[in-house]
Structure 1
Amino acid sequence: MTDDLHNFFFYANTCHVCKSSGNESPIRKCSNCKMISYCSKEHQKQHWLQHKNICRVLSEMLDEHDKSNLLEGMRNVSMEEWVKAKMNLMLMVSLKLKRKLLPYEEEMFKFPKACVVCHEVNSKSMTDCQMCPCASFCEEHQNDPGHSKICDMLNLCYDLDIASTVFIRNPPRNVVPYHTEMAYLPTSINGFIDLYVNEDKSALVSSDIQKPHISEYLTRSLTLLHAMERLEYTTGSEMTLHIIGANMIEVDGIELWETLLHWLPSLTKLNLVLVGPELDSNNEKTECNICDCCVEKGMKLYLETHGILYKDYVNSDSFVKPDIIVGYNLGIHECENIDSDMDSWSQSIRILPEQKCPFVLTSYTSEEAEKEHKRLCDILQRKVTWLCYEKNPYSSLRPHRDYETEGVYYQNQYIIIYRDLD
């Protein structure tokens, strides 16, 4: 694996360079930092130029605190304390390096080698899971059954990450027919992909790997269509959609929103307005590429991106009133103190009822969905009634490792639909 590719991701129980596991060949931790492993001296040398600065900082911290592992002493603490310790260590290293950590470096702290039950890091008799490269067990917990519930999903995370190094990320080829009458979606995103997406026969990966990849592109537009069905929402010839808290994930595969032009009989013009401080601003409407049939029918798909908070967009000259507002995996509950300097959401949320339109909110997990709804009510200072709160049949099929629970999460796994917020 090339230098660029092996730094895409980190798994504690694999060689960082070739991604082989201890099942294939013995792997050893870096003797200095104790945070990353290699199968051979050659691979350690290959990665040394990229690793040496963070290795030096970690080694100095080990000496300073007289520890053999910077996460030792956390055995049997609560998951909340464990996560806090990992994040504090990550922040401290970033400050000492005077730079933001690379994604794989962050994963060294989010997913360190530790017993999945008690967080022990120094056990000399630590045993790695034989089925996935994510889990380890101390001597006391080697027969613990809890990990088996998510082992397959964690292994799929690994397989998908490996596939991403050889599988070119392209939006899937969509064969959704034009509907002249109202039609209902298949019962799940699985069914939709089976019916309407052509498998790439030239790809170097199996359909089992392609389908989760494809679902990452489709989940946003199909989640909206599902919400419109639940709302019994009727569109005219034009619709304006506001996607708030947007980032570059929403921009990737933007052409897949053309699905709405095929699916909704009356819709001929779709305006997508993406708003979020992580975006680059392009306040002008950009016409997106659509299929030849859509062009012949005079259909249009427009995109605007505004790299600002939603409250600032609503008060700007660029503002266009929405028909529906969507927030994908917003995390509005994450700031503990409403209206504090760290709270970027409260003022924007208070503007939503003024738009007098449906609001669709998705979350990674059921627990997060509950917290999102509660925070929404707290900000608006009243009980807000939802039309629908459910596991989303159009969530992504691609699992991602969750450092807060040490399980997995999925994009848009839970959905809350509000007819309005008045």
Structure 2
Amino acid sequence: MVDFQVLPINLAYCGKCCAKCCENNGRLLKCTSCKQAFYCSKDCQKSDWKKHKVECKLLKAFKAGYDILPGSPADRQTKAHNFLQSVPLLLMGGSDPNLPTMEQFEKADTARFIGFATCRACSICLKNDFQSPAAIIDWKCCPQCNYGWCCGEQHWQEYSGRHTTEICQKYQQATAIALFKFKHIVNFNENFLAMPQRPQRDSPTAFPTNWEAYFQLRFAEDYRPNDYVPGFYAASTSLLSQPVTCLYAMFKYGKEHFITKKELTIHIVGADTYEVPATHVWEEILHFLPQVQTLTIQFVGPAACKSIKPPTQEYPTKTHEPCPDCQARRRERQVGMFGYTYHEYEQLYLQTHRHNKPDLIVAFNSGIHEVDTESWKTSLQVILGLNVPTYFTSYNESEAVKDLALLREQNANLLQENVKQNPFGENFWTIEAPSLEMGVDKFFACNMYGTLFCGRSS
């Protein structure tokens, strides 16, 4: 297990639960060094130190340099980005005992606990724990969800009327899911994964319209949501959303193009840590499409191989052992990872016929309008030239609208007029980091919106 998988839930850095066990006994102890992590007992604090000491040094360094880092004092996201860009340079010499080693830094999920999980931000002025002087802030928050932070009574009175029941419930749901997944990791020493085990014997005539219908179909008589702890099925969509979104895109394009295939190749473009490492959850595509004998999934993106040790540019396509039922039917699931842009990959593998042309291309949470846009434009021209069904997802509606505009600009043959919600995005909320750009009380879900296109517009 990697350390970042057991980071506590966000409230652990706001004084609302223990950074080790995520419980709250009503009397939490603050780390006297970084003053950001809290513990329910000395035992929890002591047992967490091996992991927290890396965070602790980084948190102290971030706080010490916060005021001189580029960006507005209230723009913690820009400050955090600039800090994370500079830390590797500071660590090269390894001479500062107040900073972790380069190896420790690379193992830590620094972007998460520096960028969001580490402190409160006022819902009115965005003042946060890292600004000077932080010690005089009189923090107030909603007693039900422990969010809606304000830096004093005046701002709380101004904000509290905006903290609606709907917003409060979203915060509570996000916390409940995060806590459920955290406790599963702690109790079972594995990431939470729930997926249907029973392969379909016949191709469904129509695709389910939402997650409940999908679970009813795939779990059949075993689907009894009231028998499981709250959040069980919602949390399962964290990983299951990826293969099911692919299936949804296939049926949305036209099931007749896919259900009779013996060999099916899917390219996941812009792959990063969200998609990689690829778990056996992808076998759900084999289980849903009974005619497919060989499923090949190629994960392609500059960061596709960054979690592989030792570092490598590519992880060649290999066959992964399927479930006993698929083994008995001699079915195969093949996975490869390639650390290239898609236009680089196309030159290396498709033009040389080393890999098959894909039957479906998918990009999860692509953000093509805001990150590496020029590179994406080049890759998009390759994708459009392949003339295969393609589905790009986005975190929220505003991002989906901007992605759609870029696809129109690139002359994509859009198979939908406007952005549409993907019914198989993650079925729970993730809290957006408070920022000058996004504001506060914002939420997103992976793959929430999707855009389907195929080739160039005539």
TM above 0.5: yes
C-alpha change, 1:130 and 1:92, in structure 2 (3 Å) is: farther
Kindly provide the amino acid, as one letter, of the partner of residue 120 in structure 1: K
Contact 1:72/1:120 (<8 A) preserved: no
- Secondary structure at 2:333 match in 1: strand
What percentage of aligned pairs have identical amino acids? 23
CA distance in 2, matches of 1:64, 1:364: 32
- Among candidates 308, 312, 322, match of residue 344 of structure 2: 312
The answer on 1:335 being equivalent to 2:371 is: yes
Structure 2 equivalent of residue 229 of structure 1: 251
Question: How far is the alpha carbon of 1:165 from its aligned partner?
Answer: 2.3
> How many Å apart are 1:184 and its aligned residue?
1.5
Residues 138-177 of structure 1: matches in 2 within 5 Å? 138-143=152-157, 144-147=160-163, 148=165, 149=167, 150-163=170-183, 164-167=185-188, 168-169=190-191, 171-177=193-199
Aligned to 1:37: 38
Letter in 1 for 2:143: Q
Q: CA deviation at 1:240?
A: 1.6
Q: Quick check: 2:181–2:192 contact (8 Å CA) kept in 1? A: no
Distance 1:303 1:62 in 2: 42
Matched, 1:208 2:208: no
The one-letter amino acid paired with 1:323 is D
Q: Aligned to 1:17, which of 5, 20, 35? A: 20
TM alignment of 1:373-384, pairs within 5 A? 373-378=404-409, 380=410, 382=411
Q: Distance in 1 between matches of 2:445 and 2:271?
A: 17
Q: Give the aligned partner of residue 131 of structure 1.
A: 144
Q: Deviations over 1:34-70 (max 9, x none)?
A: 4333456665565556555765676577677889xx9
Give the 3-state SS of the residue equivalent to 1:387 in structure 2: coil
Q: Kindly indicate whether the alpha-carbon contact (under 8 Å) linking 1:241 and 1:272 is maintained by their aligned counterparts in 2.
A: yes
| Distance in 2 of aligned mates of 1:395 and 1:371 | 18
Mapped contact 2:412–2:456 kept (Cα < 8 A): no
RMSD over equivalenced CA pairs, Å: 3.8
- How far is the alpha carbon of 1:285 from its aligned partner? 3.6
Q: Report what 1:220 is aligned to.
A: 242
Paired letter, 2:249: A
CA-to-aligned-CA distance 1:286-338 (integer Å, 9 cap, x gap): 223223333343433222222222112111143321121111112222237x5
Name the CA distance, whole Å, in 2 between partners of 1:131 and 1:61: 30
The answer to whether the aligner puts 1:321 opposite 2:357 as a matched pair is yes
Q: Match of 1:413?
A: 448
Task: Determine if contact 1:245/1:328 at 8 Å carries over to the other structure.
Answer: yes
Trace 1:13-412 onto structure 2 (pairs within 5 A): 13=14, 14-21=17-24, 24-27=25-28, 29-30=30-31, 33-39=34-40, 51=52, 55=56, 74=73, 81-92=75-86, 96=90, 97=99, 99=102, 100=105, 102-103=108-109, 106-111=112-117, 112-121=119-128, 122=134, 124-137=137-150, 138-143=152-157, 144-147=160-163, 148=165, 149=167, 150-163=170-183, 164-167=185-188, 168-169=190-191, 171-197=193-219, 206-234=228-256, 235=258, 236-252=261-277, 254-264=279-289, 266-280=291-305, 284-316=316-348, 317=352, 318-335=354-371, 338-339=373-374, 344-378=375-409, 380=410, 382=411, 385-387=414-416, 389-403=419-433, 405=438, 406=440, 407-412=442-447
Tell me by how many angstroms 1:370 deviates.
1.6
Shift of 1:196: 2.0
Mapped to 2, the partners of 1:217 and 1:195 lie a distance apart of 18
SS in 1 for 2:231: helix
Quote the offset at 1:185 in angstroms: 2.2
Distance 2:26 2:221 in 1: 35
Distance 1:291 1:43 in 2: 39
Worse-matched range after superposition: 144-153 or 320-329: 144-153
For the residues of structure 1 that align with 2:10 and 2:203, how far apart are their CA atoms?
A: 49
Cα shift at 1:126: 1.2
Per the TM alignment, residue 357 of structure 1 is displaced from its structure 2 partner at its CA by: 0.9
Structure 2 residues not aligned, in runs of 5+: 91-98, 129-133, 306-312
CA–CA separation in structure 1 for the residues paired with 2:328 and 2:50: 54
Change (3 A) 1:72 1:126: farther
Q: Distance in 1 between matches of 2:64 and 2:27?
A: 27
| SS state at 2:252 partner | helix
Change in 2 beyond 3 A, CA 1:49/1:359: closer
CA drift of 1:33 comes to 4.0
Segment of structure 1 superposing worse, 113-122 or 326-335: 113-122
For residue 282 of structure 1, report the CA deviation from its aligned partner: 5.5
Deviation string for 1:104-151 (max 9, x for gaps)? 674244242222332233454312332334442231233514344132
Q: Output one character per residue of 1:140-165: Cα deviation in whole Å (capped at 9) or x when no partner.
A: 23351434413223322442343232
Higher percent of residues as helix:
2
User: In 2, distance between residues paired with 1:66 and 1:266?
Assistant: 60
After TM superposition, give the deviation of residue 362 of structure 1 in Å: 0.8
Distance in 2 (alpha carbons) for counterparts of 1:324 and 1:66: 48
Distance 1:346 1:52 in 2: 42
Q: For residues 173-195 of structure 1, give each alpha carbon's deviation from its aligned partner in whole angstroms, at most 9, with x where no partner exists.
A: 52445343552122212322244
Contact 2:268–2:362, Cα closer than 8 Å, also in 1: yes
Question: CA offsets per residue over residues 356-406 of structure 1, 9 Å max, x none?
Answer: 11111011111121222223344x2x4653436311111122433322545
User: Could you list the runs of 5+ residues in structure 1 that have no partner in the other structure?
Assistant: none
> Partners in 2 of 1:267 and 1:304 — Cα distance?
18
